[in-house]
Structures are given as C-alpha cells and as structure tokens.
Structure 1
C-alpha cells in the first residue's frame, strides 16, 4: 500500500475562504484603514540587494525591533511568516505525534488543522463549560492548550483571571498554553510581557491587524528564551523575507501615533455598529476585537444577499452553542454604512 498521502492527512482539506472581490469587503478582519505608512515608505526604498540576498536566518533585526517596541528581550522573540506559521511551529515543537491540542470551540478554524498536520488529536471543549471552569481544558491530558484572546470568531475577551486559573491548573510541568493575541491591540490589554517569564506560556502576535501588514505575513511569539529556542528549531530558517522585514521594522520603529489612531477608530466604530445592529433587532455578541459576530437564522443566505449588494461578510454556519452567524470586520464608518444599507432588514 502506498505511504502517500499520509493516512492522517487524507481527511484534511485546504483552507478555502471566499476571496472573490467585493466593493466593500468586511470578511477577513484586515486593516480597512490601509497599510502602515512607514512600511510603505520602507518598501519603496528597497534596493536590488534586498531582493537578491537571503534575509536574516532567524529574523535577528526584526526580533530586536519587536523587543524594543514591546519591552521584551529579543531572546524571548521568535518571528515567522504570519501567526499561522508560528502556531504550526509551536504545535510541532510542543506536541509529540499522537499528542493532543485542547481548545474552546468555536475558535480560529485553523487550530484543528494545525493539530492534525502535526500528528496531534484535536480536543475541543464546550464553550460554556470551559469558560466557567478553565480546568476542563485539561480533561483530555493535552500537550498544548490553545486560547485565542480576544477569540475569533466570537470576539469575546476571556478575563485575565481566567487565564491565570488555566495556568495554575496546568501547573509548572503541564501542557504549554498558547495564547493567540492576534486581536489584542483592539482589546486594550495583553499578557505578552508575562510570557517572557512564564515557562508554560507562549503569546502569539501578528502585524496583520493593527499595523495593516497582512500582505507581508509577519508574526511573532514571546516566551522564555528556552521555549523560544525550541520553537526556532521547529520554525526553520529564512521565514521572513527581506522586504517583509524592512516594512515591519519601519512600522515598529515609527512610533505609536498611527496604530493608536486606527485602534481608537476601530473601537469607536465597533460600538457604533453594535448599537446600530441592536436598534434594528439583530444584536452582535460583545466584542473586544476588530470585528463583531452577529447570530442570524441563515448565515449563508444572508452572506449571499449582502454579496449581491456589494458587501462581503464571513458566514459561520452552525457554530457550537451559537448557531448560524456572520462576522463583520470593523472599518471606517462609510463602509459600515454600506453594510447597514445593504442588510435585508425585512
């Protein structure tokens, strides 16, 4: 019998979001205010050598810039081709084949895939039970516990005390807790600094959202240096290109004014959109991210109607304990007005 493909890969499917163009695209949680201007300027200045030569082997220049921006030692930082790449690398480093990844569902859809890609068993926990008692995530004796904070697609922000209780339950020699903070900039709080001194915690961040650099694919982790060294073994060399590193470093070193404005406007419009939806009898779930999730009777049909009217949203059919819902990225108010005008209210 052929050993290709791997038996445990046969049930995997490619990630296939609807990427058709739409006049108003509120489907992918990217920065609708644009790319960081400092990154654009840096890319415009690239020389021939920036394309001809290999990048830093392990992103040393970028790691230093991240360390300065976020107040952590560069030895605690690992960079990668977006946070997806780093989640894959952390799972591979932390979990042996045949191991287990626990998480609260619904959450980021690629977590199950990354677990299976690395020969691990996904162990989803019921949302209400796990949020009431984080120790439920230990029921399957996992090697890795994944937490998205704020959560995607729901937008909820688990209290810091909940994360503390989870870490206490996991113990000093228990599973590695992977805290995905892709949307933390919009929540106004982060546990990133704590990860640099916690041997069982890895925080994963991205420059795709608040910095507007999704096309450059730049993410990073923060952990103790010992954990970072293990993740780098799994990550491999040359994961961040020279153009991506140049744009990311420029954005990180440009100060905070631009990102602070984007974050403030996102929060303001998130609340304004939530209020508008609630007034029309279609309330969104409370969100601390740059999107809102709206439970609806038929997510696919609503997404189809909105797309026909020029607006793309992300449908989520049959979410556990929620049902059908659509996720709406928050951007400048004129784009959200287009959504409200296109919504089939009757």
Structure 2
C-alpha cells in the first residue's frame, strides 16, 4: 500500500513520545461533534437511508449521489468499472496529486500517464479518462469550473470520463461542479472526512449520470456504508450553523498558518485545511519537526515538498512556531 499521512503510530514507534502534534493530514482538527446513533443502527443491516441522500444532495447541490465507504472506495472501483464497461483506457491523472488515483488507474490494463496541471488541456483530446483533484491535494492548485465542464463535454463526446475529486472542496464551494454531476462523462467525488473532520466514518459520495452510478453501486455491492455512519452524516450535513461557524474558523486558522509560515520565509500554497511548499531540504525539515514530536507530511521524489495541516489548540501553535524558529537557525 502507498504511504499516507495520519500514520501517527509509525511516528511514535520511530521517535518515541506521546505528546504529538499531527499535521500530516488535511483533516479538520475540530471535527463535527458526532451524536450517538440509535441502538438499532448497530444491529440492523445498513440499508441505504433516503434521508442521507436528500441531506447530501442538498448540501453538495448535486442532482443525484451514491454514498460510498469514503472516496477511497470509489477511487479503487472506478478503474475496474471503466475496464469492465469499455475496456482499457488512455488515462491522464493530474500531477502531483493524491497518489491513490494514479496507483489504481495504472492497473486493470489501462495506459496511465501523469501530467502537470498546466498541461491538462492539451492532454484531454488524447485521453479517454482525465482525473483532476480540485482543489489539488497536496499543492492547492485549482481549475475553474467552466474549464472542467468544457473538458467533460469533450471527453463525453467520445464516451470518456472526467473524474473530479473534490475531497477538499468544502472550503472552496465556488469551484465545485457537483451541481452538474448528472451530465454524461462527469464523475464527482466528495468526502465527509476532511471538512467535517469525520475521517473515521469512511463516508463519501459519488455524483454522476444515473447509469454510471447504478453500475458503480452494483460493483461495490450491498451495505457499503454502515448504519452509524449514515446517521451521523445526516446530522452533520444538516447542521448549517456548525458548517458556517466552521467555515469561519477554518478561514481564520488557514490564514494564520499561511502568515506563520511566511514569517519564517516559507512561501506556501494550499487551502484553509492544509498548506504545501516545495522544500529543497524536505527530508531534513521532516526529521527536524519529528524530533520535536510534530508530524508533517513529507513528499519525496519529483514532487519534493512538505504539507502541513492545522493544529488543534494554542499550545500546538506555539510549539510549531518554536520549531520553525529553530529550523531557521539551523
């Protein structure tokens, strides 16, 4: 399996200590206060709750959605589904980006390549499937909705797909193409884990045309989402007061992180939930922070850089600033 953030146990095993600050994911550190599910949610088979679909369609502005066990389930299933429906495809994945997309499209007989965001437009006409993360994880790069819809139309004209991963789209709602998810050729992925801070639920949604959703539903099989996850998600998706307060808080904390990094000479980009920068000494920076029980996300290789999420309290903010000050002094 590929390496991901959130692997705090590995950090503790390697470096010791217990008082760690985990900045290795872009998950909201102040997640939704999940209510206790009804007792029968634990005992009944989790048939799909129509209230969940209505709440999700309203929140995302989508005409139709399929709930899945996190967007990871769809990322793994879509390449297999494409192969079953249309055979091997020429696939272009935006780069750098969430590595699971390229990993799974590189299987099932597809011919996969990765191209930079600036080269995506030129790649569309030579592709059967194009995968774009918007906003991008890890760099925060974005593509305008009009551009995405134009690509989807070009791909759909010959039976192709545009897959748009909007896992971090909650804080950039103007970029979303979820409202157009019923169009041919457009597949949109949304996550409850990031903005709502409910990664442990393993819940996401896929928006697409009806026939594609039906085929994906059949491939994934019954009871894909647990009963407790459905109940908690309904509450979170309907809690407009919490959502608005969280948008405000994340905008403030994201701006604070951007300013803090800039104070120490780091030109970072990203979203309110995470910041990324190209770091020539990425491994050394990662080690420096780990020695201070601060776990950041290291990107080695061609996409060499560092990504940091948000801390959850003032003590953590102070420790991060002290670590940055000491890094500058090295």
The TM-score range, normalised by the shorter chain, is 0.7 to 0.9
Moved runs in structure 1, 4+ residues, more than 6 A?
none
Q: CA, structure 1 residues 240+31, in 2 after alignment: closer, same or farther (shift >3 Å)? A: same
Partner of residue 193, structure 1: 179
Counterparts of 1:240 and 1:339, CA distance in 2:
37
Q: How many residues align?
A: 314
Partner of residue 274, structure 1: 258
Deviation sequence 1:50-96 (CA, Å, 0-9, x none): 2222111x5544223312433444xx211111011022223322344
Partner of residue 118, structure 1: 108
Q: How does 1:35-184 map to 2 (within 5 A)?
A: 36-37=32-33, 40-43=34-37, 46-47=38-39, 49-56=40-47, 58=48, 60-73=50-63, 76-96=64-84, 97-130=87-120, 134-139=121-126, 141-142=127-128, 144-184=129-169
Q: How far is the alpha carbon of 1:125 from its aligned partner? A: 1.5
Q: How does 1:302-313 map to 2 (within 5 A)?
A: 302-313=285-296
Gaps of 5+ in 2: 13-18
Q: How far is the alpha carbon of 1:32 from its aligned partner? A: 0.5
Q: Verify: 1:228 aligned to 2:213, yes or no.
A: yes
Q: How far is the alpha carbon of 1:181 from its aligned partner? A: 0.5
Q: How does 1:322-337 map to 2 (within 5 A)?
A: 324-332=304-312, 334=314, 335-337=316-318
Partner of residue 210, structure 1: 195
Counterparts of 2:246 and 2:262, CA distance in 1:
24
Q: How far is the alpha carbon of 1:333 from its aligned partner? A: 6.4
Counterparts of 1:61 and 1:89, CA distance in 2:
25
Task: Kindly indicate whether the alpha-carbon contact (under 8 Å) linking 1:292 and 1:328 is maintained by their aligned counterparts in 2.
Answer: yes
Q: How far is the alpha carbon of 1:188 from its aligned partner? A: 3.2
Counterparts of 2:133 and 2:261, CA distance in 1:
25
Q: Could you say what secondary structure the match of 2:157 adopts?
A: coil
Partner of residue 261, structure 1: 245
Counterparts of 1:179 and 1:289, CA distance in 2:
20
Q: Could you say what secondary structure the match of 1:243 adopts?
A: helix
Counterparts of 1:71 and 1:81, CA distance in 2:
20
Task: Kindly indicate whether the alpha-carbon contact (under 8 Å) linking 1:177 and 1:202 is maintained by their aligned counterparts in 2.
Answer: yes
Partner of residue 322, structure 2: 341
Q: CA, structure 1 residues 72+112, in 2 after alignment: closer, same or farther (shift >3 Å)? A: closer
Q: Could you say what secondary structure the match of 2:225 adopts?
A: coil
Gaps of 5+ in 1: 1-12
Counterparts of 1:68 and 1:129, CA distance in 2:
34
Q: How far is the alpha carbon of 1:204 from its aligned partner? A: 0.5
Q: CA, structure 1 residues 118+61, in 2 after alignment: closer, same or farther (shift >3 Å)? A: farther
Partner of residue 6, structure 1: none
Deviation sequence 1:254-299 (CA, Å, 0-9, x none): x2111222222212222222222223222112x2351010221221
Q: CA, structure 1 residues 258+118, in 2 after alignment: closer, same or farther (shift >3 Å)? A: farther
RMSD: 2.2
Q: How far is the alpha carbon of 1:331 from its aligned partner? A: 4.2
TM-score calculated relative to the size of structure 1? 0.83
Counterparts of 1:289 and 1:202, CA distance in 2:
25
